[in-house]
Structure 1
Amino acid sequence: MASTTPTTTPSSNKKEIVAEVPPYIRVFSDGTVERSIQIPFVPPLLDDPKTGISSKDIIISPNPPISARIYLPKLTNEKEKLPILVYFHGGSFFLGSPFSQWFHDYINSYLAPQGKFMVVSVDYRLAPENPLPACYHDSWDALKWVASHADNKTIIQAEPWLIENGDFDKVFIGGDSAGANIAHNMAMRAGAEALPGNVRVVGAFLCHPFFYGSEDVIDPELDSAVLGWKFVYPSAASGIDNPMINPMGEGAPSLASLGCSKMIVCVAGKDQFKLRDPGVRYYEAVKNSGWDGRIELFEEAEEDHCYHVLQPHTQCAVKLNKLLASFIQQ
């Protein structure tokens, strides 16, 4: 996935690369970070004339800095209650933003128009400036903040759209790639900790989730998933078999404790990052875990990683986004 974080270009030949995930990101000896792909930020828009969807940017927490872009479709009446999707963007934990053109256009023009629901697209902190588990903490804080609107007596930084139009009996989480990994870990945490207002996560969708383990590794020196995980979470116990990235590995918490009642796992048959097989293993592991929920596997055999975000206008992408919207509204 692409970066929307400003890049500092090295100005001295004396600087050395001290860490990198080629060709996407480098860290230099003076602390500067260079991200190779730049996608411009785009502003939110009230009442988009093409989609009818309104969006605005909100602050969830000033410290740590967590923000989001929230989307609201046209309402039948001003008190209409809608399902809420808390969305986590992809980008290998070191790239991307809800405010980038890619993710804004995807939600505003392709995902949200397929149904009628609100979206809170979370801007969590990125590695390497903020190594993991920072993104998990931010995402959980964002989910708690959304849930706290169910009982708005004590909420700080209240958002009127959520108070007036959010249906807190229909809260969903989802994401793509690294964001799908985050969604899984939020579902696990929701199974272990209560959310404010007794809010429960109804469902989670995981599109091309960033799961991996030692059984997937052929050459650790060249494997992009191994390099990426070491880069974003250098202190992770058990490395690539840490439960945050390998929830099927030895010592990982039981998937029976997932804190939602339904789930859909989407994989791409030609996933260039080799995430198809771990995604299928995850589906099988959840199905056989004893979890008291309903899970579905969706595969597009001839598509690549995150095609529904990168090429959302294609026939296969439209099909997947319709499926996700139906999942939220059923």
Structure 2
Amino acid sequence: MSLKLNYSYLFCITNCAKKYVWLIDANTLKVAKQFGNKGLARAEFEMPIEVKISQEIDSSVSLYELNLQRVKKIDLSNVFSSSFNEWNVITDSVADNALFGIMDDITIITDSLLLCQKQAGDNYQIFSYNTYTKKISIIDQYKGFDKKPLLSRISWFSRCNVTSSYKEKRYAIIFKYLNSVSFYDLNNNLIKHHSFEQVKPPETYEEYNNMTTSANYFNYYYATDNFLFVSRLINNSDRSEILCFDWNGNLLKILDIDHKVVLFAVNDQSFELYTIPRLVGSSTIKIYKFNYSL
């Protein structure tokens, strides 16, 4: 699942419901529209992932079909018209052939530069792709770490996500189990690196299936033009934390949340936070809305 705030609606992609796309009113928190059946047709979805961008360029959202190598664009401006037809608001195009095989996740950092993430087995790798020159480059995602040989030997250390600020032209790599965040500029220069826990030798993790019972780890993130928000689950606890950074890599605040956050979205203009908690054994979801300050 993924969650994105688009104007006055929460745009949710889910793979556990009959309809893939849910639009939720950000004020009432009620479901306003559901569409997108499972299938291979233009207005249907198979394995959609969001093409992430930190600002709203227009009233559309793009989804990448992971196993079809296609991009589907949804025009949200017409979704709530009386004559709504999902076949009229979804356009379908072939994705760039050069990206086939390296694109498990996509974030747009400039008009011509994409950052892509690829999982190969248990290993994760970050690539940059220039849409004009068609050049693909491997990004050294371990800058800032002083134990690269150790990191390279333990595949689950590489589990990470990449996101960016379209406005600031910077990106961040978030390591899930290393509890670390690294910030970079467009030249791949490291701006700032945060490690909230030290990298430990692998033998300390064997008993607990690669994680100690006391470990904290990042599980979701949300990027806006001005800020990066990263949620961290606290093991042996029913609460979470959301870390707030600016794009210079400065940690501005840690928000304490009284439940385990699965997904969240942020309006950094009105300082509103929307969270979806983990509900074990339930087929329903809850959405919480908070006001926060930095």
Q: Which of the five TM-score ranges fits, normalised by the shorter chain? A: 0.3 to 0.5
TM-score between both structures, scaled by the size of structure 1: 0.30
TM-score between both structures, scaled by the size of structure 2: 0.33
Higher strand share: 2
